Amino acid sequence: MLVRKLKGEWVLAAIRPAGKKSGLWALPKGNIGPGEDPRETALREVHEETGAQGRLIEKLGDVRYTYTWAGERIFKIVSFFLLRYTNGRLGDLPPETAHEVDEVRWLPLDEAPKLLAYGGEREMAEKALASVRSRTL
């Protein structure tokens, strides 16, 4: 989860994944590459799906869920990390991953627990909010 302060307020980079309805906001995430550490995955996925980059602050936690794909039940664990924005521009996506995302936007972090579409991601936004309020990033 990529955060920054804009005009004195904390915001987070949210995406609308390709093909999802307008107003559906989610956090960047993806599969861990071969030999890749989960922290490296978080940094890479945030850049690929938002166009911006950040530095790792801390692990926020894991979200566990199941879904069905091609008739098969899949169990998945997604690890979320708090990243502080360092550079880049939202929406300047690398050409090889631009097809994965229809929209990128800064959302107010204090509203993210209501705006994000998925329960586990809303929980991670709550943790990020508590983290930025308790420290100087």
pLDDT tens column, 5-63: 999 999 999 999 999 999 999 999 999 999 999 999 999 999 999 999 999 999 999 99
When the candidates are 3.90.79.10, 3.20.20.80, 3.30.420.40, 3.40.50.410, the CATH number that belongs to 2-134 is 3.90.79.10
**pTM over cut 0.85:** yes
State residue 49 phi and psi, 5-degree precision. -100, -10
**Tally of helices (H runs) and strands (E runs) in the chain:** 3, 5
Residue ranges of domains in the chain? 2-134
